[in-house]
Amino acid sequence: MKEKINHALHIFFFAAGFVILLLISSAIVIPKNNAKEAGMLEINPNGILAERNHSIDVLVLGDSEAYSSITPMQIWEQEGITSYVCATPRQKLDKSETFMHQAFENQNPKIVILETNLIYREFSTTHTLSQLLDNTFPVLVYHNRWKSLTSSDFGGRIQYTWVNDLKGYIVHKKVKSISPKDYMKTTDEAAKIPLRNKLFIEKMYKYCQDHGSQLVLVSSPSAKNWNYKKHNGIAKLAEEFGLEYLDLNLYEDDIAIDWSKDTRDQGDHINYFGAVKVSEFLGKYLKDNFHLEDHRNDPMYADWFESLERYKEKIASAK
């Protein structure tokens, strides 16, 4: 018995020491700034880390449909509403949850928009556990930073200073047209949402409730990825949890997406010209339905006008 206890203690102390080592090394290698030069990964969504505390009204989560369709600076110029897009390619809901929790550390958005394309993207328990480990021990993600550590990484203060003037939006002006044939043809059928995904939506919904925010589901225009079966599946989900649902694929007359000019890849994603139309419509929708404050006359938001000027310069030079 004594031998078994000693063996268990050895395992316990080894595991505890290993965890402590991971925590210490994580504190060293984690980037102390959110700029690419500081070693930060996924810099576009992580640009939110440099935004002034409690300054973001609308947080957008999702995959490439989100960062292709919603340009926050268009919404700012038109309505004075501050928004930020924390989207990544092929994002899964466990990653969306991670970005949401990170944003709420310093922000208190009144609205959290979840772009719905990723709700149908399946992921495993193993993927979620891996995401949890990465969140807990950043050294698992940033282990290669050992090669570029400086003295400031040892006990240095974390200070995020890189401001993303596009606020998470990624601009594409390329045009690759398509002539979709009634891709939103009505049906009573509903695409099935995986159970794991529904459970994550429920968790995110309750988190938003607990933090005084409202979760809103939004489907971006996509002639390739979207259809009425998927619309019905999301509509049922929204009804189940009492969520607001806006399917932009159904507002053909209001948004007037021209699939011969407003898509960069034959209907998979819209381009900049389509994003302007979507963002104009979405900004008005947010203002009319959620009565968000117009900050354009507030001197605390003067930096948004500075970002707007740089945004316009980047849009002008984009291809």
- What are the pLDDT digits (tens) for 40-52? 999 999 999 999 9
CATH number of 31-317: 3.30.750.24, 3.10.180.10, 3.40.50.1110, 3.90.550.10? 3.40.50.1110
pLDDT tens string 248-290: 999 999 999 999 999 999 999 999 999 999 999 999 999 999 9
- The confidence band for 181, taking pLDDT boundaries of 50, 70 and 90, is confident
More confident residue, 199 or 32: 199
Beta-carbon contacts of residue 85 (< 8 Å; ≥ 6 apart) = 44, 45, 60, 62, 66, 67, 70, 72, 167, 168, 169
pLDDT at 7 over 70: no
Buried b or exposed e, range 155-167, using 16+ CB within 10 angstroms: eeeeebebbbbbb
Helices marked H in the chain: 2-29, 43-46, 64-69, 72-79, 93-104, 125-136, 139-142, 195-210, 228-241, 252-255, 272-290, 302-317
Buried b or exposed e, range 197-217, using 16+ CB within 10 angstroms: bbebbeebbebbeeeebebbb
- The confidence band for 4, taking pLDDT boundaries of 50, 70 and 90, is low
The token pair that represents 181 in the structure block: 């044939």
Q: What is the mean pLDDT of the chain?
A: 93
Beta-carbon contacts of residue 75 (< 8 Å; ≥ 6 apart) = 58, 81, 83, 279, 282, 283, 286
AA identity, residue 257: I
User: Domain locations in the chain?
Assistant: 31-317
Name the residue among 185, 176, 198 with its Cα closest to residue 263.
176
Contact yes or no for 218/285 (Cβ under 8 A): no
